[in-house]
Chains A and B, each alone.
Chain A
């Protein structure tokens, strides 16, 4: 099908985009990469009166580091993250996950912020945002506000954003040297949405897990943070935490709220989630260990 008719405005600045959103409210839709919105227009699941194209808004382009955070402008595309954008494990994590997001031509257009605004339960970036306690920066008619990822997702395709607000940036905390990162996904074909996925970051100090952050994609209506699993790992010795990793996988699967799908019962989905959480944790512990065991310079 072809989209129903709509008007089109290319905004040149954040203020201009917000003014348009303020004027038209829920009749307007922001157009970023268009790699989800255009499908919805074709299906006529959405029939906005106006599209506000933000692709020409310079303020939304690029990334930087500010106050201990990697700041991704709303026009940072998936493809921009395929190589580490910052010399911190968070850059490595994004580069590790990026190839799992769609295909190269989709990644060339789709944006990180658009993925969070779209809030698909299986979206990799949404799980990353929840695992890392990202912050979503918005501009609206009454100014700027910042929402924690934990408060952002209200349900499939529902977020804390009001129709008058524009997502301008996403802030991801830097993880610091010594943090290990991991990501594991199961999908039916290359480029399919995740059947399930798990993202992990593990802070290691003096041979012990100082903290762990784990989140799962397509494990419920919104990304699920596995806090019980995280606690099961904290304080464990890295050298002998096989049992704790196993237990964390099982705990995460219990924390998940998976729905049955034609290709997977709830039971099977929980099983897969447990396996993926374990894999992502093993990767994370391995990458943390690789940093720690690097021989320190100048010691004999």
Chain B
């Protein structure tokens, strides 16, 4: 089936099978391999992308369901070679080790912080958003710090110690 996708602002026409997941199309047809795949069961969140601004599991969405939708992946976060504040914060706070989960966490929080720029003031929501994705390396503490730093940065507030 022919499908038109908008990915990071670019228009793509792809010929896919109905059974192809959005994750597979991004990786295999569009060569956007920043979106990782691990469990393919919705559990780990390493495949998280934004569809119409909403963080979703791209392994649980069919490409044919995304016709005409606006998709954002980790490749679209940086602009003109400048890291997105979330990416910069992950680097500054050591929010990654092996980095496999990182694209998923970045897109998860890119969506969550656009939805609620004061997410860092909603402890319950912050916790459950952190718990949405799996990281086997960092222990989450540094990811949490990175998100807090990025939230402040995105609001134009100075981070402590800067």
A190, B55: Cβ atoms under 8 Å? no
What's the minimum C-beta distance from B1 to chain A, rounded to whole angstroms? 7
| B 23-60 contacts with A by CB, 8 A | 24, 40-42, 45, 48, 54-57, 59-60
Contact yes or no, A8 B42, CB < 8 A: no
Q: Is B40 in contact with A42, judged by CB distance below 8 angstroms?
A: yes
Interface residues of A in 228-276 (CB under 8 A from B): none
Provide the bound-state CA to CA distance between A187 and B120, in Å.
Answer: 25
* A12–B125 alpha-carbon span in the complex (Å): 35
A-contacting residues of B (Cβ < 8 Å)? 1, 17-19, 21, 24, 40-42, 45, 48, 54-57, 59-62, 64-65, 108, 112, 124-125, 127-129, 131-132
16 A-B contacts, Cβ less than 8 Å apart? A1-B40, A6-B19, A8-B1, A10-B64, A10-B65, A34-B60, A38-B60, A38-B61, A39-B41, A51-B62, A103-B132, A105-B57, A105-B108, A109-B57, A191-B131, A191-B132
In the complex the two chains form, what is the Cα distance from A2 to B108 in whole Å? 24
Residues of A within 8 Å of B129, CB to CB, are 103-104
* Interface size, chain A (Cβ < 8 Å): 30
- Chain A residue contacts of B132, Cβ below 8 A: 103-106, 191
Which 5 residue pairs are nearest across A and B when measured between Cβ atoms? A8-B18, A103-B132, A38-B60, A3-B19, A190-B131
The chain B residue sitting closest to A34, CB to CB, is B60
Contact present for B19 and A106 (CB under 8 Å): no
Q: With A34-B60, A38-B60 known to touch, is A105 a contact of B48 (CB < 8 Å)?
A: yes
Q: How far is the CA of A49 from the CA of B45 in the complex (A)?
A: 28
A3-20 to B contact mask, C-beta < 8 Å, 1/0 = 111111010000000000
Whether A39 lies near B60 (C-beta < 8 A) is: yes
Do A38 and B59 have beta carbons less than 8 Å apart? yes
CB under 8 Å from chain B, chain A span 22-72: 31, 34-35, 38-39, 41-43, 51, 53, 55
- In the complex, residue of chain A having the shortest beta-carbon distance to the beta carbon of B132: A103
Cα distance A51–B19 when bound, in Å? Answer: 10
- Which residues 83-113 of A have a CB within 8 angstroms of B? 99, 103-106, 108-109
How long is the Cα–Cα vector from A5 to B129 in the complex, in angstroms? 33
**Cβ contact of A41, chosen from B19, B108, B128, B131, cutoff 8 A:** B19
Besides the contacts A5-B18, A42-B59, A109-B57, what 10 more A-B pairs have beta carbons closer than 8 Å?
A1-B40, A10-B64, A38-B59, A38-B62, A39-B42, A55-B65, A99-B128, A106-B42, A108-B54, A108-B55
Inter-chain contact A4/B60, CB cutoff 8 Å: no
**Given A2-B19, A2-B24, residue A105 in contact with residue B45 (CB < 8 A):** yes
Asked if B19 and A5 make an inter-chain contact with CB atoms under 8 angstroms apart, the answer reads yes
